[in-house]
Amino acid sequence: MRSLPVADIPIPGATAYLSQAETHQILFMEFKQDVMVPEHSHGAQWATVLEGQIELVIDGVPHVFRKGDRYFIPEGVKHSASIHAGYADLNWFGTKESVPS
């Protein structure tokens, strides 16, 4: 995964590697420091936690995910995150037209 192009993401301490397609993108992300991500929304997101811990608030409901957990955020649903140093995940971001059934 680290041989993929490095993505330009504006999150301090984060490195992301990107596989881009017309209808979706896949990101492998690693965090070297604690990060707070403010509330936002985008296309559907599926993720698998590879290392560490993330605290997500999805549509107002708090969740904690650790190594081996998976999560899904539907398109347009507001969410925020507290990401701990050492966290790594694999994310799939889609568009409305590409959401798997």
The token pair that represents 63 in the structure block: 């969740």
CATH superfamily of domain region 14-40+51-98: Jelly Rolls (2.60.120.10)
Name the residue among 44, 46, 38, 52 with its Cα closest to residue 72: 46
User: Model confidence over 21-35: pLDDT tens digits?
Assistant: 777 788 899 999 999
89 CB neighbour count, 10 Å cutoff: 23
Q: Which two structure tokens, joined as six digits, stand for 89?
A: 């995940």
Q: What share of the chain is helix, strand, coil (3-state, %, to 5)?
A: 5, 55, 40
Q: Give the pLDDT of residue 1.
A: 65
Give the model confidence (pLDDT) of 45-88 as tens digits.
Answer: 999 999 999 999 999 999 999 999 999 999 999 999 999 999 99
Q: Are strands 70-73 and 14-20 parallel, antiparallel or unpaired?
A: unpaired
